[in-house]
Amino acid sequence: MSTVVIAANLGHLKAFRVEETPTRGRRLELIDEMEFPEAHGRFLDKITDMAGRFPVSEGAGQGSAMSTGEALTAELEIQKRLVKLVAERITTVLQNERPEYWHFAANPEVHQAILSALAPELRERVVRHVHADLTKAPAAEVLAHCLPARAD
């Protein structure tokens, strides 16, 4: 029985295969890792330069501010694009590995959005949801969160 653990946020994804051995127990083997560079850096640097921005009003100190509506819409579009990229990568990993079931860890802000972007047949096979960003955690910590020790 194959099992996969995926830890993701909008900037990084790690996929692990769970390996069980009679002598060493469970361990995670890294099978895929991907950075999403678009998620890193300052938002204002990504969308435009200062010369291309429109002032909100003519009030003092407001001349270089971007309209709140424009900024929120652009930021939301970037987030949607990143969610789609992460979901596509998860789909690729799961299609390659073909696990019977899998575990998913992502920070609470994007956990549901990423799951919603996946095909229903993939969502149905998630057996453990961890609402934490484990992308920078060592494999042993990911294992402890996603597959707690058995009470044998």
| All domains in the chain, ordered by first residue | 3-146 (3.30.420.60)
pTM: 0.77
Residue 150's nearest CA partner among 5, 29, 25 is 25
Query: Under 8 Å CB-to-CB from 49, ≥6 apart: which residues?
Result: none
pLDDT over 80 (residue 26) = yes
Average pLDDT value for residue range 121-139: 95
Distance CA 83, CA 147 (A): 25
**What is the reported pLDDT for 76?**
85
Mean pLDDT of all residues in the chain? 83
